Structures are given as C-alpha cells and as structure tokens.
C-alpha cells in the first residue's frame, strides 16, 4: 500500500466505525427545518454550512462515544464482533480523539451560530452521548435515542430564527418517533444476545410480534406529526404528495417484516428509511420554493 493511500484508508475506517453513511437519516429533516424557518427570514450559505457541520459533529461524537463504551459488548456479540474497535482496526486513543474532536466541532459550529445555540449545545451533547448508557438500565432506550436525534430539527430552526415555533416542534416529534420506531426494528437482530447479556431493549423485553406492533405505532405517530408540521407551516400539495410517498415507504417497511420472517430487516432499516428522509426533504423544499416563486 502506498503512503498516499493510507490517509484515505484511515478516513474510510473511521467512517465505517461511526456509520457516517447513516447521517442521511436525520440530516435531511434538519435541512427541511432550515428551509421552513428561512421563509420570510432568510438564511445564508454560511449558516447552512455551520448547521451541517454541527449535525455531523454531534452525530460523529455520539457514535464514537457509543463505540468506545460498548466495545466489550460489541466484542462479545457475534453480529458486532467485527467492528473496528473490537478488531483493533481503530485504537481506543484514536477513537477517543475522533470523539473529542467531533464534539469540539459541534461546539464551535454552535458558537458561530449564536449565543443561544452555544448555550443549548451542552444539553444536546448530554442527550446524544447519554443515549449510550440507557440500554444498560431501560428498554425505553429507543425513545431516548429518538429524543436525542429528534432535537436536530428544533436545533436547526433555532439556529435560523433564534426561537422555536410550532412547525419545528411537530417536526422534532416526528423525527423522534420515526427514529425510535426503526431503532426498535434494528434491535430485533440482537434480542437473543441482549437477553443473555442483560442489555435492555423492546425486542429483548417483549419479543418480536410486540416489537413490530410498537414500531408501527411509533411510525404512525411520526406520520401524524409530519402532517401536523405541514399544516402548521402552511404547506401545500407538493408536501402532501411527498407525504403520500413517505407513508407508502413506511407501510412497505412494515409489510415486508413478519414475526416469522425478518430476512428483509436490513432493507427495511437501511434502504427504506434513507429514502423516507430524502423524499421528505425534497418535497418540503420543493413546496417552499414553489410558494416563493408564486409570490
């Protein structure tokens, strides 16, 4: 291997460790909040860049911290034993450095966005880092993860407007229940290990049928909150058309999973949820732009 390629290999390895590709789940919702908040108020390219950097920093810090404190659990779980820390592909000091640097990036971006953002930033860090401990004592850990990630649209709205309004609150509730719903699905694969290791989760506590039902209820709540957000923001037919696609995706996600057949779990978790967030953002942005052009 040539020396010129080594930095890229390191970047790819770190990216895999923190599942950087999963940023697509929450970031589009935060950008949708930016698009809505900017109406009649305005937003600069620099603000958008700072919001993206804050999102990436907070999420990377959270994932790095999670990998660090879960490294022994991951090593004992056959599904996760091949992760970067258990296998030594990434050293503990390197993972810690990435986590600290990412948290610093988040704080710096928050500071640039304004005093209120900086004041609220430590609360966000407590939420996103604290999630990693919850599965050690409660099966409500999925809801806590939803709360942590669901703060992103509200934070993005505050960064643009300096206050919270109804559309941002509804959008944050939608993201919180959406994230919690698919995190329940994600935990299905680990239910047997979690019971053996004393890890708390809804699948480990209640089993597969109840977990699928609870996930569906959470996603139904997410759809209701997204519709409420659109109504509060005064969005129109493009938004509703996008919501129809989002609803179809979520229905499909649950239709391909059955208690007796979880073979499509990766498709439901990774592919469909990625489509949901991107489609939602595109529909929201298109509706906002159409209304601006029509004025």
> What are the boundaries of each domain within the chain?
6-294
CA distance 241 to 174: 17
Q: How far is CA 233 from CA 37, 57, 276, 280, 288, in A?
A: 9, 28, 20, 14, 10
Write down the pLDDT at residue 294. Answer: 72
CA distance 121 to 155: 9
Token digits of residue 60: 């990377």
Estimate to the nearest angstrom the gap between the alpha carbon of 63 and the chain centroid.
11
Q: Helices 92-113 & 45-69, crossing angle to 10 degrees?
A: 150
> CA torsion 95→58→188→248, rounded to 10°?
-140
Q: Read off the pLDDT of residues 58-89 as tens digits, 9 standing for 90 and up.
A: 999 999 999 999 999 999 999 999 988 889 88
Q: Read off the pLDDT of residues 31-60 as tens digits, 9 standing for 90 and up.
A: 999 999 999 888 999 999 999 999 999 999
Select from 274, 226, 253 the least CA-distant residue to 25.
274
Select from 106, 99, 92, 95 the least CA-distant residue to 55.
106
Q: Is the pLDDT of residue 20 over 80?
A: no
Q: Do 141 and 134 contact (CB within 8 A), yes or no?
A: yes
Q: Read off the pLDDT of residues 223-273 as tens digits, 9 standing for 90 and up.
A: 999 999 999 999 999 999 999 999 999 999 898 888 888 877 776 666 778
Percent of the chain with pLDDT over 90: 73
Write down the pLDDT at residue 268. Answer: 60
Task: Tell me the CATH number of domain 6-294, given options 3.40.50.11540, 3.90.1150.10, 1.10.357.140, 1.10.10.10.
Answer: 1.10.357.140
CA distance 117 to 37: 15
Q: How far is CA 198 from CA 41, 90, 135, 139, 264, in A?
A: 50, 26, 9, 11, 26
């Amino acid at each position: 291997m040539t020396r010129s390629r080594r930095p890229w290999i390191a970047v790819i390895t770190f990216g895999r460790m923190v599942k950087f590709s999963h940023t697509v789940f929450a970031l589009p919702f935060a950008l949708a909040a930016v698009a809505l908040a900017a109406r009649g108020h305005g937003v600069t390219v620099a603000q958008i860049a700072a919001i993206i950097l804050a999102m990436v920093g907070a999420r990377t810090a959270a994932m790095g911290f999670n990998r660090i404190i879960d490294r022994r659990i991951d090593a004992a779980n056959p599904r996760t034993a091949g992760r970067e820390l258990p296998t030594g592909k990434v050293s503990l000091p390197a993972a810690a450095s990435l986590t600290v640097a990412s948290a610093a990036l988040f704080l710096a971006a928050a500071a640039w966005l304004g005093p209120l953002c900086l004041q609220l930033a430590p609360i966000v860090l407590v939420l996103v880092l604290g999630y990693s401990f919850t599965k050690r004592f409660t099966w409500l850990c999925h809801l806590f993860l939803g709360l942590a990630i669901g703060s992103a649209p509200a934070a993005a709205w505050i960064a643009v407007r300096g206050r919270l309004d109804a559309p941002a609150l509804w959008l944050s509730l939608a993201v919180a229940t959406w994230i919690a719903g698919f995190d329940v699905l994600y935990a299905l694969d680990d239910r047997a290990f979690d019971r053996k290791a004393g890890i708390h989760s809804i699948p480990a506590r209640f089993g597969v049928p109840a977990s699928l039902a609870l996930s569906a209820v959470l996603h139904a709540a997410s759809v209701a909150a997204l519709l409420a957000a659109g109504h509060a923001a005064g969005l129109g037919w493009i938004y509703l058309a996008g919501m129809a696609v989002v609803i179809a995706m979520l229905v499909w996600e649950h239709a391909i999973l059955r208690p007796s057949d979880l073979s499509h779990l990766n498709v439901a978790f990774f592919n469909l949820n990625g489509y949901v967030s991107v489609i939602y953002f595109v529909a929201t942005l298109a509706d906002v732009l159409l209304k601006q052009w029509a004025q």
